[in-house]
Copies of this chain bind each other. A is one copy, B any other.
Amino acid sequence: MTTNRRKPAGRPATLPDVAREAGVSRSTASRALAGYGSVSPDARERVRAAAEKLGYRANQLARSMITGRTHTLGAIVADIQNPFFAGVTRGITDAARAAGYQVLLANTDEDVAAERAAVKMLRDKHVDGLIVAPAATTETAHLAAAHAAGCPVVLLDRQAPGLPADSVTVDNHGAAQDAVRRLLAAGHRRIALVSLLGTAPVDGAGAASSDPVSTGLERIEGYRTALREAGLTDTDTYLRTGTFHREDPADLTAELLSLPEPPTAVFATDSMIALGVLSAARDHGLRVPEHLSVVTFDDTDWARAVRPRISVVAQPVQELGARAVHSLITRIEGTAHAPEHIVLDTEFIERESIAPPRSGT
């Protein structure tokens, strides 16, 4: 038995309803509404009118089943409450909407297991692609699998060497180096870096011991490079890295400030760390910038409102998100091409948190 009953008032109008109202077949109605194939102007108009009259809205679920496209993107970030990711997410949702896509959001708290679970859920929902700020640089099998299975992935903010995916990042090394150079130029020699990394701390002399997020690592390397340039060979004396959820940046800073020869300047690798640095400085009765110069990554709202205003390395947060969306959609809708790696410029914004050290090194 075919579905020839008339549409009851309560039920939302379906395509057969529209077709019947317009006096055409379902396929013609479908073609007219989706705007493909060829339909006579007359039929097209009748269908349009019928759809309007019935308040017809296409069932995207049914459409997606056929076309294989949901026009939905998945965004996986560490923490939407972090102003950096809030800005990035804003950029993502805006760009996505402008391109006719919606965004499913997931937080990972820098936890790879949570990231894996998120990828699984989002793929179950058949997102057309994934924008991921990966929690780890090496454990990316789930991302590679998604990519291979035709769910394109673009990496945001962070790289993952093994993965043949597009990426949108900033030049963390260069930006950090530049920031530290400014501290050096002001006369500082005892310059600290405070950071939080994904998993394991960077110890003493060498490189990272484990698999932390690449961003932090690059900033640390930029810091070291700048110090070495200035002839400071012992680059790790004032280097303090903690682990998310385990260490508090304020404590790391407090420890630095209690040193016999405390740093005269601190470089914070993001705005939430800078807050900890500021807080510790205050607890030690230190004024910025007279007693302690401070520079941080990320130009948050408060950096230009507090006293003194904080000098920052500003990242183009919204653009980071928007470019990720564009890369992703290009890959979803376009033909295969080699992974592209977009590197956006940062901007150093000089404000009032840098002063010469009180006593020379």
Interface of chain A residues 261 through 278 with chain B (CB within 8 A): 272, 275-276, 278
Q: Is A186 an interface residue (CB 8 A)?
A: no
A287 to chain B, nearest CB (A): 8
> Is B83 in contact with A81, judged by CB distance below 8 angstroms?
yes
Q: How far is the CA of A279 from the CA of B103 in the complex (A)?
A: 35
Contacts of A301 in B (CB 8 A): 272, 275, 302
Q: Give the number of times this chain occurs in the complex, counting copies.
A: 2
Q: With A81-B87, A107-B93 in contact, is A61–B70 under 8 Å at CB?
A: yes
Identify whether the interface residues of A are mostly helix, strand, loop, or mixed.
helix
A339 to chain B, nearest CB (A): 22
> Is A124 in contact with B60, judged by CB distance below 8 angstroms?
yes
A11 to chain B, nearest CB (A): 10
Q: Is A58 an interface residue (CB 8 A)?
A: yes
> Is A305 in contact with B61, judged by CB distance below 8 angstroms?
no
Given A61-B125, A275-B302; 18 other pairs, CB 8 A cutoff: A57-B124, A58-B124, A60-B126, A61-B126, A80-B80, A81-B87, A83-B83, A93-B105, A102-B106, A102-B122, A102-B125, A275-B301, A278-B307, A282-B305, A301-B302, A302-B302, A306-B306, A306-B307
Task: Identify 18 residue pairs between A and B in the complex whose beta-carbon atoms are under 8 Å apart, listed by A's number.
Answer: A57-B123, A60-B126, A61-B70, A70-B125, A72-B125, A80-B89, A80-B90, A83-B83, A89-B105, A90-B107, A93-B105, A97-B106, A102-B106, A102-B121, A102-B122, A103-B105, A272-B301, A276-B305
